[in-house]
């Protein structure tokens, strides 16, 4: 399930420290994106062979929410190329479809001094901007064989992210709302908006040690609402991101990652011309993290590459994330 539109997110890595208290303090200053890892993004499956969540959005330290109150900035650069045999496009069926996606997602998160259920409370917002190109082998009437678009994607609102810390364990729950504010034209084969509302709840956890070992995961559930223009309701989705890594030095961390995005209820509505059209996608890949200085600010970078496989009614290809996070 990858973008007919666009929206995405993650959490940065921090180097191992000889002293646990020092390491956690640096996490608090640097970890800009955990809530962002809670801020999902777009995918293909369902209508347009995509849902609102994009697999692999979270990586190292996915469960960590900063304890230091303040404003955090995270920026995501996302590239995807893939193909699929059939896609529902604006209520019509297109065959032998391939796509290339370039998305940038700047996001702001504010960690408050408040606590909720014993955890640190924050909220955030992200607005994607990007370019999507689609090539169609066999196009239905009214749909071009080649189309591209550039503009704003759907806004992602995070009214709540709550983080907890217990020894080496760091967890968080995040609630994200996808608002259909992006570029959309019913007569276009490709759009940067899904043109429907979606709600995602996710629970993330990280086991982080003083020796630099990182075992992280994010499990979430997305509820999609009906597209009022095409009368297509994409089914609900369960998504899982996993990452395991080890610090090689104070600056570098390397490891492996993977994800699964599984649609558990069928598509519906008068526009669902392919029937329930449930879709699944899985991926494995590599992750590289680097911690650096930008003036007086600590900056955490992650490069993640995933190769997808075993697609069902879903685009299948390669996904690359380059992310940066810092406290403002």
C-alpha distance from residue 162 to each of 65, 69, 115, 118, 203 (Å): 7, 13, 8, 9, 10
- Enumerate the β-bridge partners of residue 166: 169
Alpha-carbon gap, residue 323 to 325, rounded angstroms: 7
- pLDDT higher than 60, residue 217: yes
Instruction: Report percent pLDDT > 70 for the chain.
Output: 79
Nearest by Cα to 190 from 143, 139, 126: 143
Bridge partners of 61, per DSSP, are none
Question: What does the pLDDT read at residue 185?
Answer: 82
Res 272: pLDDT = 76
Categorize the per-residue pLDDT at 92 as very low, low, confident or very high, splitting at 50, 70 and 90: low
pLDDT of residue 238: 96
> DSSP labels for 143-203?
--SEEEEEEE--EEEEEEEEEEEETTEEEEEEEEEEE--S---TTSS--S---S-EEEEEE
Looking at residue 87, its pLDDT comes to 67
Nearest to 240 by CA among 284, 290, 303: 284
Please say whether the beta carbons of 61 and 206 come within 8 A. yes
- Cβ atoms of 289 and 301 within 8 Å: the answer is yes
Q: How confident is the model at residue 127 (pLDDT cuts 50, 70, 90)?
A: very high
Query: What pLDDT does 268 receive?
Result: 87
240 — pLDDT class (breaks 50, 70, 90): very high
* Per-residue confidence band for 313, with pLDDT thresholds at 50, 70 and 90: confident
With a cut of 80, say whether residue 320 has pLDDT above it. Answer: yes
Question: Phi/psi zone of residue 118: left (φ > 0), alpha (ψ -120 to 50 degrees), beta?
Answer: left
Whose CA is closest to 161, among 197, 119, 195? 119
DSSP character string of 62-78:
TT---SS-EEEEEEEEE
- Range in 50-54, 196-200, 233-237, 293-297 the model is least confident about: 50-54
Q: What is the DSSP letter of 235?
A: P
Top pLDDT among 211 and 313 is at 211
| From 13-27, 107-121, 183-197, the region with the lowest mean pLDDT | 13-27
The whole-chain average pLDDT of the chain stands at 82
pLDDT the model gives residue 187:
72
**Alpha-carbon gap, residue 167 to 163, rounded angstroms:** 13
Q: Is the pLDDT of residue 306 over 60?
A: yes
Question: What's residue 90's pLDDT?
Answer: 56
Distance CA 11, CA 165 (A): 15
| d(C-alpha 317, C-alpha 99), whole Å | 9
Nearest to 218 by CA among 78, 60, 79: 60
42 within 8 A of 52, measured Cβ to Cβ: yes
- What is the structure's pLDDT at 189? 64
Domains of the chain in start order, with CATH, are 20-327 (2.40.128.130)
pLDDT of residue 51: 58
Give yes or no for a contact between 289 and 245, defined as CB atoms under 8 angstroms apart: yes
Closest residue by Cα to residue 256 from 317, 304, 316: 304
The continuous run of DSSP H or E covering 23 comes out as: helix 20-30
Minimum mean pLDDT range among 161-175, 193-207, 261-275: 261-275
For residue 298, pLDDT beyond 50: yes
CA dist 270 to 139, 145, 228, 279, 281, Å?
20, 24, 11, 19, 25
Q: Is residue 82 within 8 Å of 98, Cβ to Cβ?
A: yes
With tokens 């992006």, the residue in question is 182
pLDDT, tens digit, for every residue of 128-175?
999 999 887 766 545 667 788 999 999 999 999 999 999 999 999 999
| 101-110, 129-138, 215-224, 243-252: the lowest-pLDDT one | 129-138
19-56 pLDDT, tens digit per residue, is 333 343 333 333 333 333 333 333 333 555 455 678 99
| pLDDT reading at 296 higher than 50 | yes
Task: Report CA-CA distances (Å) from 103 to 8, 50, 79, 271.
Answer: 8, 15, 7, 27
Identify the residue with better confidence: 106 or 47.
106
Over residues 305-314, mean pLDDT: 92
Q: How far is CA 124 from the centre of its chain?
A: 14
Q: What is the pTM of this model?
A: 0.82
Top-confidence residue, 24 or 3:
24
Confidence of residue 315 (pLDDT cuts 50, 70, 90): confident
């Amino acid at each position: 399930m990858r973008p007919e539109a666009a929206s995405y997110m993650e959490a940065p890595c921090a180097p191992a420290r000889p002293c646990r208290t020092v390491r956690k303090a640096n996490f608090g200053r640097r970890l800009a994106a955990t809530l962002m890892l809670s801020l999902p993004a777009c995918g293909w499956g369902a209508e347009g062979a995509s849902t609102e969540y994009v697999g692999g959005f979270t990586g190292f330290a996915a469960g960590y929410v900063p304890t230091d109150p303040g404003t955090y900035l995270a920026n995501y650069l996302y590239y995807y190329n893939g193909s699929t045999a059939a896609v529902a496009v604006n209520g019509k069926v297109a065959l032998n479809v391939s796509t290339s996606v370039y998305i940038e997602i700047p996001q702001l998160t504010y960690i408050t001094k408040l606590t909720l259920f014993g955890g640190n409370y924050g909220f955030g917002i992200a607005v994607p901007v990007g370019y999507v190109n689609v090539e169609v082998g066999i196009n239905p009437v009214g749909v071009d064989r080649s189309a591209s678009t550039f503009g704003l994607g759907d806004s992602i609102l995070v009214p709540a992210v709550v983080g907890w810390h217990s020894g080496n364990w760091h967890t968080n729950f995040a609630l994200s709302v996808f608002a259909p504010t992006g570029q959309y034209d019913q007569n276009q084969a490709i759009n940067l908006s899904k043109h429907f509302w979606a709600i995602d709840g996710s629970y993330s956890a990280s086991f982080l040690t003083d020796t630099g070992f990182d075992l992280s995961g994010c499990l979430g559930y997305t509820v999609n609402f009906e597209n009022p223009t095409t009368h297509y309701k994409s089914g609900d989705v369960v998504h899982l991101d996993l990452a395991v890594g080890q610090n090689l030095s104070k600056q570098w961390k390397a490891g492996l990652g993977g994800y699964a995005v599984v649609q558990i209820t069928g598509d519906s509505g008068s526009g669902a011309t392919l029937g329930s059209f449930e879709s699944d996608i899985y991926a494995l890949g590599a992750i590289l993290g680097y911690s650096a200085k930008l003036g007086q600010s600590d900056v955490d970078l992650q490069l993640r590459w995933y190769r997808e496989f075993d697609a069902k009614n879903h685009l299948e290809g390669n996904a690359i994330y380059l992310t940066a996070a810092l406290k403002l």
